[in-house]
Amino acid sequence: MHTHSQPIGARLEFSNIRQTFSDTVSIEANKLVIEPGSLTVLLGRSGCGKTTLLNFAAGLVFPDQGQVRYDNQILQSPAPSTALIFQTHNLFPWMTAIENVAFPLRNQGMKKTAAFTHARHYLEQVGLTAFAQHKPAQLSGGMRQRVALARTIAMQPRLLLLDEPFSALDMQTRRMMQRYLLRIWQDSAATILMITHDLHEALMLADRIALMASSPNGHIAQILDIGLERPRNPEDPLFRTIQQQLDRFLEHETLQAEHAPAPELTDSQSKYTRK
């Protein structure tokens, strides 16, 4: 059932961002373009500025210098048609799953019957039809995140910003959430920008991985185009090779974080496409 028209993903562009938090902490993001409808993962060691960049993308915070463009418009207020999902779900505990999903639709002026019809559809997309009448406390952590995902997707955002959305979940649940996310992304054509610390997750999901350095913080050191076909197979030698490269980058970043200069990378952009 597709009762709305299909939303089209937004385009994002960060250029020459500079944000100073204190004498010792500042973020300098050179250039990053997020293509419409792409799924980009931001990877970098803890504290390198990923969440800050996501906040800029949402138009919740504005950098001291530089710009974020949303569809070529410089962001000066909260980004239109944008949704954020964090590690915690923020569901209303007194509402059932379906009421949680319907609530923002009702808030937008949708009539009650229509809102509940939509909510039911999106709950079905995350496999929760049988749990529509359950309250968050009666659901598992993974189910709650699925309700949150359904609630977000029901709003048909053009841009979805995800800050480690699955990190509180066990591995099996995580894998399942990744499949739901991929399905939702493919159905909705939304642009997704996601932070994760899980290299396996990054490789299962991303069509691009932006590696963020920590000297200076925020610097996009490398962009990897992941051309592996879907569904991805972690046993694939190419999958493993990229995973090892990512692992080395993060290890280097972590070791060098305090004092050393940025890692020397030969290519600013690499393509991993099977020919």
Binding residues (CB under 6 A) for ligand ATP: these are 21, 25, 44, 46-52, 217
Distance in Å, CB of 157 to ligand ATP, minimum: 21
Cis peptide before 36 (omega within 30 of 0): no
Distance in Å, CB of 43 to ligand ATP, minimum: 10
- Give alpha helix (H) positions in 25-160: 50-58, 97-107, 112-125, 141-154
Distance in Å, CB of 203 to ligand ATP, minimum: 18
Pick 22 or 266: Cβ nearer ligand ATP: 22
Q: Is 49 exposed, middle or buried (0-12, 13-18, 19+ CB in 10 A)?
A: buried
Cβ–Cβ < 8 Å for 95, 104: no
Pick 52 or 82: Cβ nearer ligand ATP: 52
Whole-angstrom distance, CA of residue 120 vs CA of residue 151: 10
Pick 55 or 96: Cβ nearer ligand ATP: 55
Pick 95 or 257: Cβ nearer ligand ATP: 257
Pick 235 or 258: Cβ nearer ligand ATP: 258
Distance in Å, CB of 48 to ligand ATP, minimum: 4
For the chain, state the CA radius of gyration. Answer: 19
Distance in Å, CB of 27 to ligand ATP, minimum: 6
3-state secondary structure 233-245: CCCCHHHHHHHHH
Cβ–Cβ < 8 Å for 261, 215: yes
Whole-angstrom distance, CA of residue 267 vs CA of residue 76: 33
Closest CA to 87 of 157, 144, 153: 144
Pick 52 or 96: Cβ nearer ligand ATP: 52
Distance in Å, CB of 51 to ligand ATP, minimum: 3
Whole-angstrom distance, CA of residue 22 vs CA of residue 178: 36
Whole-angstrom distance, CA of residue 268 vs CA of residue 219: 12
Distance in Å, CB of 5 to ligand ATP, minimum: 34
Pick 43 or 150: Cβ nearer ligand ATP: 43
